[in-house]
Amino acid sequence: MNLPLLKHLVKRNWKLWSIFAALLLFYLVVLIAIYDVMKDAEEMMAAFGPIGELYGGMQGLETAMTYVSSFYFKELVFMFSLIYIVMMSHQLVFRAVDNTSISNSLANGISRKNYITTTLVFFMGSVFALFLLLFLAGGGLLFMWGSYNIALYFNVILSTALIAMSVAAISFFFSAAFAGTKWGAPLLIGIPIMFVVFSMLSGMADSLNFLQWLTPFGWIDSLAISRGTFDLWWMWDIISIGIIATAYFAAQHIFKRKQLSI
């Protein structure tokens, strides 16, 4: 790993990271703030019996933590992190090769192996930092609401973070493996979007449930983790770490042998 390059990446990308961090924090604060309103609405609609069920099948409202796990970590976090992942993955390697800015790094004695290692460490670190921020801020807010089980909330954060990091690693792999080709951008953008589409389709019909196994976004149930009823969450954490490691070594191996027009 090259520390000067790492510092350069942090300096160049901290504004983008800050924008997404601010957006995620904003929605987290809003959702927690309206929890009591949502809880009252659920109780009011329940009084209407079967008609109230048409309200939309609101799940996870028993506590503020399960509510956040269901509405926030199951949907909003993945959507915002997906956008961040695609944007960052595109510019770290693919764009650097496309506009030949990577030549400056290579000319200064940074090997291709070090370049891939450093950019991936920065990428994974930046995604992890987003979730660390959510753990600290969300934990504080949930504690104020009197609804905070630190162990379960940590499990939700860790599993969601590793899923997002595994998707980021896959996108990074395509960015590095297909840098300098016409297939690079469609693959590094299209594959993560395909994961989201599979996740959405898997919940639309029983016949499409198999699609959840084809997308990392469908592997965990953040609501069940927050309730303590998802016993195998640790298995998907291990699988996610394996995907990150495999994507790194594969990207490094291919990128070192690529013919680059720079």
Rounded Cα distance, 227 and 152, in Å: 7
Higher pLDDT, 25 or 205: 25
pTM of the model: 0.85
Rounded Cα distance, 76 and 124, in Å: 19
Rounded Cα distance, 204 and 198, in Å: 10
pLDDT category, 56, cuts 50, 70, 90? very low
**Backbone phi, psi, residue 245, to 5°:** -65, -45
Higher pLDDT, 3 or 46: 3
pLDDT category, 237, cuts 50, 70, 90? confident
Residues 6 or more apart from 194 whose CB is under 8 A from it? 215
Indicate the SS3 state at residue 48: coil
- Each residue of 80-133: pLDDT tens digit? 888 999 989 888 887 877 777 777 777 777 788 888 899 999 999 999 999 999
